[in-house]
Amino acid sequence: MDLQGATVAVTGGTGFLGGFVAQSIARADARVHALGRSDYDLRHRTEIDRMLADLRPDAVVHLAAVVGGIGANREEPGRFFYENATMGIELLEACRVAAVPKVVVAGTVCAYPKHCAVPFREDDLWSGYPEETNAPYGLAKRMLLVQGQAYRQQYGMNVVHLLPVNLYGPRDNFDLESGHVIPAMIRRFCAAVDTGVDDVVLWGDGSATREFCYVEDAADGITRALARYDGAEPVNIGSGDEISIRDLAALVAELTGYTGALTWDTTKPNGQPRRRLDTTRAEAEFGFTATTGLRAGLERTVAWYRSHGLG
């Protein structure tokens, strides 16, 4: 679709990823509405209907989600399933009824099976059950892929499903209870440096691997998909690079200036054993390739955290 002059509603547009996506789409001269829960509560169909009637968008980018790290997923699996499923299911149905021309849905890498061949290819999404600690969240998002494809088949609705990998960057959620691994590490190491603590305890044994994508790269990928991709098949959005949690911790420690010990609490879960995406479909379908290396992205994230007086 031609984004110039188009009206685009971005749910979750006041959040971490959503803010960057809204900025990216706006640079294409679209009229962007970056929406938060204070604007419309997407858990309620009447609110979604009101949003569509108010804005009459040419496209909706659905990024609103209840998210968190392993701890948050373990504490509230029911909420993570219900609210993510409800928001997505009701939004897609309301967009169908309102004849919204295009909807882009952000799924999650957590939808992939726990034991999936590496790199994760989109065709392997259904080859097993997700890792247990985030399965409710992952399956709620996986159902939106089913719904989008079913609506495309029955109603001819243009629903695009993307699978972003773990994201990080400036303006991330640095809360130790609900944040993901990179912001949590940055906060803990910065605090240790500031207070003189010489030992930081981390979850698991450090052997699990993860792929991380800088948030501005991911926003570019989503914008490209909105403009250029109309396919039924899901598409991975990531960097294609893999690092162990142990090596990640060493890198974050270096960049924050932490020189103390790292203690691994093996009573805590590692999460999924490995995680790395095959990103060839995104490059082939809409020309997306991540351009920010992990060290450079982490340097910017640490600098942002420090400059905003958060640590």
State residue 73's pLDDT score.
Answer: 75
* Structural domains of the chain, with CATH: 7-168+212-240+275-291 (3.40.50.720)
Give the pTM: 0.94
- Give catalytic residues, as residue numbers: 137
- The whole-number average pLDDT for the span 119-133 is 95
∠ CA 259-261-266, rounded to 5°: 145
| Six-digit token string for 192 | 């240790």
**Mean of pLDDT values over 38-45:** 96
Output the pLDDT for position 311: 55
pLDDT of residue 26: 98
Q: Average pLDDT in the 46-57 region?
A: 98
Distance CA 162, CA 74 (A): 24
**Gap between the terminal Cα atoms of the chain:** 42
What is the DSSP code string of 126-149? TSSPBPGGGHHHHHHHHHHHHHHH
∠ CA 91-46-11, rounded to 5°: 40
Q: What span, in angstroms and rounded, lies between the C-alpha atoms of 41 and 308?
A: 29
Is it the case that residue 22 has pLDDT exceeding 80?
A: yes
The single residue listed with the structure tokens 């999404």 is 125
- Could you tell me which residues are beta bridge partners of residue 116? none
